[in-house]
A = this chain, B = another copy of it.
Amino acid sequence: MLENYSKQIKKILKNIKIGDRISVTRENRIYEGFLMPKTDTGDSDSIVIKLDNGYNISIKYERGVKVEKLKKPSRELSKEGFKALEFDSSKPKVALISTGGTIASKVDYRTGGVYALESSEELLSNIPELKDIVYIKDVSSPLKKMSEDIGHKDWQIIAKEVAKHINNNKGVIITHGTDTMHYTSAALSFMLKDLYKPVVLVGSQRSSDRGSTDSFMNLICAAYVSISDIGEVGICMHGTTDDHFCYFIRGSKARKMHTSRRDAFRSINEIPLARIFPEGKVDILNKNHKKRDDSKEVVADTKFEPKIALLKVYPGSDPEILEMLVKKKYKGFVLEGTGLGHVPTFADKSWIPTIKKIIKDGIPVVIAPQTIYGRINTRVYTNLRILYNEAKAIPSEDMLPETAYVKLGWLLGHTKNIEEVRKLMTTNIAGEISERSTIDSFLV
């Protein structure tokens, strides 16, 4: 079992197996984590453990090194199967849709790799709190993908799965990878017509078998949101780096703003819809939300035009890229403009003539802010007036570039009439455009 470890290491590791939780004390420092296998190329005379932050550390043997076997963290996923959680049918009925991602993964301590969990039931079995909140009976798993691989066809599958279950449930929880969760939440915001129940996307930044995992608390908070009075699509993730509360963020206003922090998801240009405490309190923060109405029937309206592009302009960017993509039959563009919504206008690399020509040919070009926060302005400067009034670019208002991209694809799935696209693009459909920006929503 302790293959490739040296003789003296094997000796101090007696009664300990790969995957056991141990502490190693060396020179008065204590390292705690799971014992990892040793590759045949590594130094056989040091102990490798996986720390709770997910990194492996190699601790060189020397005299005085002490190793102790620890109990597993109470939430640790069992490696020897699991016992499914028994729900209480008197609780509010909620559906669970699993699509993959870190929240549905665990580390294999024999190889160090990350693997998908057997099933959603395996994840739920570790969160007994859930049965005191909701009755989860409809569990489905239409996808098993890390979210970097999710695309518009997956959004359509998820939207249809939601529509299938939500009319017989108080709400729906969707577990999803975090990388592109905000693209999916924007897509569902447009695709779920007549939605007046909570559709709660939830993921985790650390897999469920790590000491620092956020998946249990995120799921508990998501359960509370799913039976709340908020009738919208949103993302439920940690609000801070500790386990204090989660935010529920409107699906069309959410963005992953950090590669790794547990509180990476932020509400952009408006305050979050609600703050949810794992003890069950749901604080409504943004009163401007759709209220639950269980009498409405949700329909999935999933038509989508995928042949569109999201591009950024920047110093030196060349508009020839637009012409190349038009030749490839692209049907629409979202450009991330600088500042208030500018594109370069200088000399031979001005974007305005190209944009003007494309729009004249009936292909919509939307400008969204690359600053992320704030709102496009079509008037303050001469270059803006030329771009929006003469060349007829479409401003995204205070919509996120990612949301504008998803909305454009969804609109073009329904109509190719550029004037209709222009009108709907600048009209609020799913909370994606705020009428006015509030001062307290910057970098919150």
Contacts and interface: CB of A to CB of B under 8 A. Distances in A.
Given A338-B179, A439-B241, A316 B380 contact: no
Nearest to A351: B148
Of A263, A317, A373, A376, which is in contact with the most chain B CB atoms at under 10 Å from its CB?
A373
Interface stretch (A18-26, A340-348, A419-427): A340-348
Contacts of A256: 338-339, 371
B147 A338 contact: yes
Interface in A131-163: 145-152, 154-155
A405 interface: yes
Contacts of A320: 328
Given A151-B349, A258-B371, A259-B374, A183 B314 contact: yes
- The SS class assigned to the A binding surface is loop
A375 interface: yes
A113 B380 CA distance: 8
Given A381-B146, A443-B444, A259 B373 contact: yes
A143 to B, nearest CB: 11
Given A315-B183, A382-B113, A371 B264 contact: yes
Given A178-B339, A338-B179, A342-B179, A259 B316 contact: no
Interface in A319-369: 320-321, 324-325, 328, 336, 338-346, 349, 369
A180 B375 contact: no
Of A148, A184, A321, A343, which is in contact with the most chain B CB atoms at under 10 Å from its CB?
A148
